[in-house]
Structure 1
Amino acid sequence: MVHHTMSSSSTSAASASSKIRVMKRLLRFLACAAIVGTLASCAVKKPPPAPAPPPAREEPGLPPPGPVADTAPIGPAIERARSRWVPVRWAELPGFEQDNTTDAWNAWIKSCERPGPTFARLCSEVRRLSLGNVEEQRNWMKARLQPYRVEPLPGAGAAAAEGLLTSYFEPAYDASRTARAGFGVPLYRAPATLGQRRPWYTRQEMETLPEARAQLAGTEIAWLADPLDALILQIQGSGRVRLTEADGSQRLVRLAFAATNDQPYRSPGKWLIDQGLLRGDVTWPGIRNALAANPQVLQGFLWSNPRMVFFREEALSPLDAQFGPRGAQGVALTPGRSIAVDPQSIPYGTPVWLSSQGPVANLQRLVMAQDTGSAIVGAVRADYFAGWGAEAGEFAGRMKQPLKLWVLWPR
């Protein structure tokens, strides 16, 4: 075999050529890398996704916004001393979706000035919702409260089940600090001897017995012109008067309930009916007409009610004048949104849904149980506070119609 061999110069040339090829490959690789990197650096970069917004902050204790499903368990009935509460769905409350609840919120905030233990824990939420709209207030009630239909206890009879709504108001009259021509009907402070005898003297005895008149001497707080106005003010329990002082100056004051003589209340209107002088229209306008036609019976009419109310004087600021007198709960009443109830049926401070249709008014609204009265007895019984003055008196004097009530009780 013949072997061929290379010379040293040939070997060196081959080695150099190989190195050149390697260098070219390396340069091509680096160029490509540079181009790719440049293109990558020129590409439009999408910004990183924005972090998800935090959930809307909700006031502690308030339900989330939006409609509240009426599907929560409703639980058993509740019995009180003079009523039975039957749980129902919100849909049973007539007119609930239409009422402007913001009108009632001032009355609820007033109740929160002296809340009972059941509602005290909700008062911070009630105050915050005073700035809310109707939908927010309505949703909050659905989330926090359970409606119960108020019924009489078994055996109370059909009449009690139907219920009765009447109305009361705060009379507004002119008055004099001293007795003078045209102002001869006294209103009294509570006499110092009131607690020494129970019951105290009747209305008739206060006007006829020397010892009773002696104990009343000096307790006159103001004088009115009309004895019927004085009786109305005593039956309503308070009133506001434009009081003329001895020096001729005038100011607006409230005569608030202070005490009674502990005598029973008897209806003067019924007395007129028993005398055959009043038929059908048993209202204050009807009573006035009957007395105008039969002035000789006025004294017997007044004495037919032995109960007397004594008053205390309260300053009436412009702010106080926007509200009524303090009711039995101890808070100022709100016209159209406060009711008097039997506290053995409905506790003071309870929000109540009221429904009443009749010849005087069609009412479907949220009200607050903030007062009571001697004639307000029974399960489905309420006295509607109409406000003050002649228009409210006309309304209250004619109101007597069927009633349905639902209490709104914390879940």
Structure 2
Amino acid sequence: MTARIGAALLAGIWAMAADPAQATGALDGDAPVAHTILDFSDLDGWAADDHSAALDAFLVTCRDLNDPDWTALCAAAEDHRDVARNFFELFFRPVLITEGSAEALFTGYFEPELDGAPHASPRFRYPIYRMPPEAEAAEQWLSRREILSGSEMSGRGLEIAWVDDPVELFFLQIQGSGRIRFPDGRVVRVGYGGANGHEYKSVGQELVRRGMFEAHEVSAGTIKEWVRTHPTKGEELLLHNPSYVFFREVSEVPADRGPLGAMNRSVTPRRSVAVDPAYTPLGAPVWVEKDGGVPMRRLMIAQDTGSAIKGAQRADIFVGTGDEAGATAGTFRDAGRMVVLLPIQRAYALLPELLE
């Protein structure tokens, strides 16, 4: 740590009171938003975590943050690899951000791996499309049903690859990224390339509405099994969701690294989390206390977003790549608490702004 960085940040530390403080405000006229400044001793399991792993994930994206507060912290992080816990405790304050009475919800996501080929064949019949120019220019383009039943996509060279399972392709669109493994062993990675502008409709909720399952019974696994067991009705069920996601090839990302998140950097299994950037700054460390079948007390980094991730206490944990990661991610739907680590001067700056 240079003297200049240390002096600037330490001056803010000694000037701040140690007791938790709280302020409330509102975000865009929604439920009141409360910011409660905590101490690290308030974080359940903090001392037992692997802070070095969190620091490594932080360094993946902190260099892309242009704000002076974060730039200084990123420079300091490089000098604290051997004392990662001290780095976070020295330069950050934990801030609990809540929105009205909304409870925390943690889900999981993963990077699927599909079997595919570079060309169509009797086995590989389902294309992964790039976004056509007219869809990019339209606020709302054709629906899923219109895309799959029409001829607008044919003969234009928009196919990145072809896969053998329409159900896995559907869930690839929900995840937004994945890897396609060709018969010769080559792997093509695809990432989110745009959407048709239609609102996402949950096929799981539709199965519940039809009386096929109780709400607690629905998961990615049960949906896949039902669709495959009822191919005609299953195809129609998937068309219930008019939203359609297009992809782009991102094979420049090494196979041993995670897919690109919203910050255009690889996300790290169980150290990266998708958040709502209206409440949590992208790139910020986030302390997760998640209960359920796979409890977690872990420092993660907010490196991704998602259309379904809305709210101050809503987060999606990146679990990893492949079927095993997918099975684990599908079990996540848990309560808990999320605490954002903000630069210490920025954390305390929230109070006078909100109390005026």
TM-score of the aligned structures, taking structure 1 as reference length: 0.75
Q: Residues 163-202 of structure 1 correspond to what in structure 2 (within 5 A)?
A: 163-202=104-143
The aligned counterpart of 2:227 is 291
Equivalent in 297, 315, 318 of residue 385 of structure 1: 318
Q: How far did residue 177 of structure 1 move? A: 0.8
Please say if 1:275 is aligned against 2:210: yes
Please say if 1:260 is aligned against 2:195: yes
Q: Distance in 1 between matches of 2:272 and 2:337?
A: 16
Q: Distance in 1 between matches of 2:206 and 2:6?
A: 54
The aligned counterpart of 2:178 is 239
**Could you tell me whether the CA contact under 8 Å between 1:80 and 1:345 is conserved in 2?**
no
The aligned counterpart of 2:334 is 401
The aligned counterpart of 1:206 is 147
Q: 1:151 to 1:115 in 2, by over 3 A?
A: same
Determine which structure has more spread, i.e. the larger CA radius of gyration: 1
Equivalent in 224, 233, 252 of residue 163 of structure 2: 224
The aligned counterpart of 1:104 is 54
Q: Residues 8-407 of structure 1 correspond to what in structure 2 (within 5 A)?
A: 60=3, 61=5, 72=18, 76-77=22-23, 79=25, 81=27, 83-117=33-67, 118-130=69-81, 132=82, 136-152=83-99, 154=100, 157=101, 160=102, 162-210=103-151, 212-214=152-154, 217-244=156-183, 249-279=184-214, 280-316=216-252, 320-359=254-293, 361-407=294-340
Q: 1:129 to 1:373 in 2, by over 3 A?
A: same
SS in 1 for 2:341: strand
The aligned counterpart of 1:27 is none
* 1:5-35 deviations in Å (ceiling 9; x for gaps): xxxxxxxxxxxxxxxxxxxxxxxxxxxxxxx
**Could you tell me whether the CA contact under 8 Å between 2:22 and 2:34 is conserved in 1?**
no
**Could you tell me whether the CA contact under 8 Å between 1:114 and 1:330 is conserved in 2?**
no
Q: Distance in 2 between matches of 1:141 and 1:213?
A: 50
Q: How far did residue 185 of structure 1 move? A: 0.9
Q: Distance in 1 between matches of 2:26 and 2:129?
A: 37
SS in 1 for 2:124: coil
Q: Distance in 1 between matches of 2:194 and 2:291?
A: 35
Q: Distance in 1 between matches of 2:137 and 2:300?
A: 39
* 1:70-104 deviations in Å (ceiling 9; x for gaps): 97365553646374321112111110000011111
**Could you tell me whether the CA contact under 8 Å between 1:338 and 1:368 is conserved in 2?**
yes
Q: 1:79 to 1:339 in 2, by over 3 A?
A: farther
Question: Which amino acid in structure 2 is aligned with residue 150 of structure 1?
Answer: I
* 1:274-306 deviations in Å (ceiling 9; x for gaps): 222222322111212322443331111111111
Q: Distance in 1 between matches of 2:136 and 2:50?
A: 46
**Could you tell me whether the CA contact under 8 Å between 2:20 and 2:38 is conserved in 1?**
yes
The aligned counterpart of 1:39 is none
Q: How far did residue 195 of structure 1 move? A: 2.9
**Could you tell me whether the CA contact under 8 Å between 1:150 and 1:407 is conserved in 2?**
yes
Question: Which amino acid in structure 1 is aligned with residue 162 of structure 2?
Answer: W
**Could you tell me whether the CA contact under 8 Å between 1:323 and 1:335 is conserved in 2?**
no
Between 1 and 2, higher relative CO (CA 8 Å, sep ≥ 6) is seen in 2
**Could you tell me whether the CA contact under 8 Å between 1:326 and 1:332 is conserved in 2?**
yes
**Could you tell me whether the CA contact under 8 Å between 1:148 and 1:408 is conserved in 2?**
yes
Aligned length, in residue pairs: 331
Listed as ranges, the gaps of 5+ residues in structure 1 are 1-57
The aligned counterpart of 2:10 is none
SS in 2 for 1:374: coil
**Could you tell me whether the CA contact under 8 Å between 1:278 and 1:287 is conserved in 2?**
no
Question: Which amino acid in structure 2 is aligned with residue 113 of structure 1?
Answer: R
SS in 1 for 2:265: coil
Q: 1:85 to 1:323 in 2, by over 3 A?
A: farther
Question: Which amino acid in structure 1 is aligned with residue 47 of structure 2?
Answer: E
TM-score of the aligned structures, taking structure 2 as reference length: 0.86
Q: How far did residue 346 of structure 1 move? A: 0.6
Question: Which amino acid in structure 2 is aligned with residue 106 of structure 1?
Answer: D
Q: How far did residue 200 of structure 1 move? A: 0.8
The aligned counterpart of 2:354 is none
Q: Distance in 1 between matches of 2:227 and 2:336?
A: 30
The share of aligned pairs that are identical, in percent, is 34
